[in-house]
């Protein structure tokens, strides 16, 4: 996972739980990087997982809730890192269609060794879409948080039903994203 993701994670923790919380997590996790992250460098995914588990122990918030909350927080930081002209989508549905074919393509130009997931709109309906997610990192809850925040930014709150999940043995995740 890119350092930029860790930088946003640290920022969220310091804002919402305080500086001492970040220091406590670093003491607990004993990370190979020492907890110093450069945005364009790649770090072991295990580091973010260890930090989330340690944060869950610190805050008594379950891991899945923290991952989704971080997805929401991360969206704004990531969205602002691209030129505004790249993020100029008329609605949530066109943004979701562009994640794989435009947004993550740009990310891979910026960071040639980036590891972005496969995210596809596989079905469109009047009130929403089906989103396909596939990644060896199985970070579908992060994707759900990112989608919720993108939806809120468009003033289009959504409900998301996770109808099949890689963490339960499937080869991809399916998410029904509907207005409401």
Query: Which residues would be at the binding site for ligand HEM (CB under 6 A)?
Result: 1-2, 4-5, 78-79, 81-82, 99, 103-104, 107, 114-117, 119, 135, 137, 139, 142-143, 146-147, 150
The smaller minimum CB distance to ligand HEM, of residues 5 and 66, is found at 5
Least separation in angstroms between CB 18 and ligand HEM = 26
Closest distance of CB 79 from ligand HEM, Å: 5
Q: Report CA torsion sign: 177, 67, 174, 42.
A: positive
Q: How far is the CB of 144 from ligand HEM (least distance, A)?
A: 8
Among the listed residues 146, 135, 138, the one whose alpha carbon sits nearest the alpha carbon of residue 177:
146
Nearest residue to ligand HEM on Cβ basis: 135
Q: Rounded distance, CA 180 to CA 177, Å?
A: 9
Strand pairing report for 158-164 and 128-134: unpaired
User: Considering beta carbons, is residue 20 or 109 the nearer one to ligand HEM?
Assistant: 109
Q: For tokens 């609605």, name the residue.
A: 91
**Min separation Cβ 60 and ligand HEM, Å:** 25
Residues in contact with 76: Cβ distance below 8 Å, sequence separation at least 6, in sequence order: 149, 153
Closest CB to ligand HEM among residues 61, 78: 78
Q: How far is the CB of 28 from ligand HEM (least distance, A)?
A: 23
Would you say 24 or 81 has its CB closer to ligand HEM?
A: 81
SS3 call for 160: strand
Residue pair 146/133 in contact (Cβ under 8 Å)? The answer is no
């Amino acid at each position: 996972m890119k350092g930029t993701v860790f930088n946003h994670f640290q920022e969220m923790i310091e804002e919402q739980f305080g500086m001492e919380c970040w220091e406590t997590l670093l003491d607990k996790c004993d990370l190979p990087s020492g907890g110093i992250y450069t945005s364009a460098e790649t770090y072991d995914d295990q580091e973010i997982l260890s930090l989330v588990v340690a944060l869950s122990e610190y805050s008594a918030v379950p891991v899945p809730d923290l991952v989704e909350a971080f997805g929401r927080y991360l969206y704004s930081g990531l969205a602002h890192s691209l030129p505004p002209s790249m993020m100029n989508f008329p609605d949530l549905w066109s943004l979701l269609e562009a994640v794989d074919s435009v947004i993550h393509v740009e990310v891979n130009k910026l960071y040639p060794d980036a590891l972005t997931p496969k995210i596809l709109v596989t079905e469109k309906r009047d009130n929403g879409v089906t989103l396909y997610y596939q990644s060896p990192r199985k970070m579908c809850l992060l994707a759900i948080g990112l989608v919720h925040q993108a939806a809120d930014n468009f003033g289009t709150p959504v409900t998301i039903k996770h109808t099949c999940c890689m963490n339960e043995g499937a080869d991809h995740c399916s998410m029904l994203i509907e207005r409401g």
